[in-house]
Amino acid sequence: MKNAFFKGHGLGNDYIALDPDDLDFRLTPKNIRAVCDRHWGAGADGILAVASSRRADFGVRIYNPDGSEAQKSGNGLRIFARYLYASRRTRRKSFTVETKGGLVAIDLHLDKYREASDATVEMGKATFEPGALPCVLKVKELLERSIKVGAESLSFTGVSVGNPHCVLFREKGKSWSRDELLRLGPQLENHRLFPQRTNVQLAVPTGPHGLYILIWERGAGETQASGSSSCAVAGAAVRLGLVKSPVAVKAPGGTLHIDVDEDFSLTMKGPVADVFQGRFTPSFLRALS
């Protein structure tokens, strides 16, 4: 179907999946912002666009709602996998997808309705080296490093899982507020230490295998859940000895389960749902042009 799209979510983090070859418009930053706008467009935390790949079964380009491009998205990959299966681009339950943040392997889990309601994604390895984010600090690893935000002196752990993350921990029994996320998130995302910006997580251990996080995504802002953020925080918490693998990472939208191997390879398992399939109307297409 011409100008068709598929909308799904992973724990409230929603994306639109589509094939650029089926569109009568280009995915420019301006058009991406228009499609993702929740009042004037279809509304989404981003767009998942089918791309060619010589290394994997499928390729995907991931766009943030501000029009910028993301390297990787754990929730986005689960939604993209469900889209591929629901649209019959594949009938296989296991396949690989190439992202700008690396190659991932995905296993779909079908429910009693034969729908892919859960997925397991091999998300690659976590690294704490500054060059991987990038971060301008001249240190070997970004473990509990000082960062100044306005008049505040904070401690962060930097981790890349194919995209950059700045994780701030509080000790068990304490908590972060949404007001703190809305205040610190944009300042940390655009901090001078991170020349290409970064995702931000405010985290607290809840037990030997549990974490609670609030999420500020680069290019998207506050989100209810994030697969790559959950992986990054789980990897960082295991590296710092705050929790042990496997880790249940709870966000406002729900819980993802992360396995952290000894070499910090990360495997994520979580739910995925579709919301609707549709087609952009002629009047919307005229508005884009």
Whether residues 117 and 135 share a domain: the answer is no
Residue 1 has a pLDDT of 82
Do 70 and 142 fall into the same domain? no
Alpha carbon of 219 to those of 68, 130, 259: distances in Å?
7, 21, 27
Q: Which two tokens stand for residue 115?
A: 């729908």
Q: Do 90 and 168 share a domain, yes or no?
A: no
- Single out the residue of 8, 14, 17, 23 nearest to residue 284, CA to CA: 23
Give the tens place of pLDDT for each residue, 187-220: 999 999 999 999 999 999 999 999 999 999 999 9
Same-domain pairing of 134 and 251: yes
CATH value at residue 234: 3.10.310.10
Asked if 134 and 259 sit in the same domain, the reply is yes
* Same domain as 134, residue 92: no
Quick one: pLDDT at residue 134? 98
User: Tokens representing 176?
Assistant: 């972060």
Assess whether 31 and 88 both reside in one domain.
Answer: yes
Backbone angle region of 197, left / alpha / beta, with phi > 0 → left and psi within -120 to 50 → alpha = left
Residues 7 and 43: their CA atoms lie apart, in Å, by 9
Residues of the chain under the 50 pLDDT cut = none
List, for residues 174-195, the tens digit of each pLDDT value: 999 999 999 999 999 999 999 9
Total count of domains within the chain:
2
46 and 71 part of one domain: yes
pLDDT for res 173? 86
Give the pTM: 0.95
Contact 202, 176 (CB under 8 A): yes
The b/e string for 140-169 (b: 16+ C-beta within 10 A; e otherwise) is eebeebebeeeeeeeebbbbbbbbbbbbbb
Q: Which residues pair with 4 in a beta bridge?
A: 279
54 with 88, same domain? Answer: yes
Q: What CA–CA distances, in Å, run from 275 to 31, 32, 92?
A: 22, 19, 22
Q: Which residues 6+ apart lie within 8 Å of 3 measured at CB?
A: 22, 23, 24, 279, 280, 285
- Lookup: tokens for 146: 């000082």
Residue 215 and residue 246 in one domain: yes
- Of the CA atoms within 13 Å of residue 58, those in its CB half-sphere come to 23
Residue 109, domain extent: 4-123+272-288
Residue ranges of the alpha helices (H) in the chain? Answer: 29-36, 74-86, 178-189, 227-239, 282-288
Shared domain for 229 and 251, answered yes or no, is yes
Looking at the fold, whether 145 and 113 belong to one and the same domain comes out as: no
How many Å apart are CA 234 and CA 237, to the nearest integer? 5
**Positive or negative CA dihedral for 76, 82, 87, 93?**
positive
